[in-house]
Structure 1
Amino acid sequence: MQARFAAVLGLALLVQGGAGPATAESHKPPLVFTGIPDQDESRLVERFGKVATALEAKLGVAVRYIPVKSYPAAVTAFTNGQVQLAWFGGFTGVQARRAVPGAQAIAQGAEDAAFKTYLIANTKTGLEPSKAFPQAVAGKTFTFGARTSTSGRLMPDYFVRQAFPGRTPEQVFSRVGFSGDHSRTIQLVQSGAFEVGAVDYSVWDLDTKAGKVDPGAVRVIWESPPFPDYQWTVRGDVEVTYGAGFTERLRQALIGLDDPAILAPFGRSKFVPVDNAAYAPLEKVGRDTGLLD
């Protein structure tokens, strides 16, 4: 049984890690990374497996992707050094960098500098698209995404409080839930389990293209103002392991990922350089909403 488990685990690592140590510097440990589980698991395996293969070829070290079950688990894996690199949402990136001195945001999607949340509604509510925040959502059932999602919790929480001064989401809506990820939010609102929800616009677009959205059952009713979101964050101690200049090499490798087969599952056109300062607005919103100590 143990031998069989080891064989299965070894196969999984080869699938997740790409080309394997034959193309990497064998004396250096693998660069291990993860990403927040913000959508359908099969899409995550597809996107991150391709990233691992591409980075391994560019960096000359073995690269491994490990999945996590939740947004907090991604932050914990980064904080305790289980992973050296992570694809975080804006807010989880802020949390991770606050916990790990020297950690840096090094690349984001070109679309992440001006990201958006969509409010979506089950069509049976009769809610129609609006340029202004739709006041008619008050009294409806509402689902956020994950509790520490930027586009699925932090920013929609903030926008609700702006639209209804002095009231929390729990006071605005008849019931508030947390779906766990954006794809799940879409399905819960589409099914009528919740009347309204907040979702990452890029996941909405990806799920729409994949035929998972029924326009007769769910629609976008509001588009938020822009805010910074997803990014690649690296630990500050990677240069001890992989040598001086490795952080910049990693940044260049990420922004050099130009294969549409890699970028499409992210819903991104390309990756561009970024730094920690770009996410200061999210840190302020986190404090203002009480979601960040």
Structure 2
Amino acid sequence: NMQLGLQHPNMSIETENLEKWKLIGFGGFGQVFKARHKKWRCDVAIKLPRDADGDIELCEEANHMAQVSFHSSVLRLYGIYSGYPPNGGQKIQLGIVMEFMDRGSVQTLLETLSGPPPYPLAFRLAYEIAQGMNFLHEKGILHHDLKPSNVLLDGDLHAKLADFGLSRVSTSVLMNSKEMSTVKGGTPEYMPPESFDPLYEPVRKFDIYSYGILLWSIICGKKPFPDADPGLVKVRIPKGDRPPCKEIDQTKAEGLRELVGLMERCWDGDPSKRPDFGECDEITKDVFSKHRAGIHHAVGQVMKKLVQLTLSFQK
């Protein structure tokens, strides 16, 4: 099954069709490049693992993406790259070729705006992420690293779930290793209290907790626990610490009260009390529907700011 994605004839993308490689991101897993596909005349993103040991994981990630990539709130998978990478490697490498998102992520959006997006856009993001996550869970896939940097934005600022790199790793194996790196184990600020237990096996309620924290980040426009050291976060979350909701004025927008209620249920310390994504989808759909009329104006406002910033960077 592992090789399934690779055997598919339309899934392989050759080096000679790719040009203008540019490194756009890197991490413990390896590197992400932007390149142009000559024949398709479009930009693509290519994720290359750090070394060949990453090939099996890469194939699993691609197989997961392939199962869900046709959903409108999930990043599209184009295929598997196989060739000599531009970073001068002498070995043929495999990579995942995906849609390139030129508007960055929810994280870069919040940083650029230095705060939350206008309510109609914040509510649409909440709804689209819930839709995409519900679809993943219906397909039996856990995301396991849901956070602002893994929700990418297309040209109209629609949310696309990305980075399924952790979507199948059983944490129990990883947590026993001496250091629990964020690369493998998830991101502490977005992880539920029960997951800090070395014997924890990931289940759907893990993603629901992360979604609650993500909702808070989008509504407040900032990182949870911004000044805390990750080690401290791991101690505080099991003790019941959560991002503060007091600072959210729930009368500011229709539906905000429901959304704050939802995020608090999502991050409940008792996993059995957390809702599922079907319910998150229903509530966020209802909240967004009250603001649908304002969405084009909201997106226009934000795009203006993003363009102004891009221009000022290029000067």
> Common fold, TM-score beyond 0.5?
no
Select the structure with the greater relative contact order (CA < 8 A; seq sep ≥ 6). 1
TM-score by length of 2: 0.22
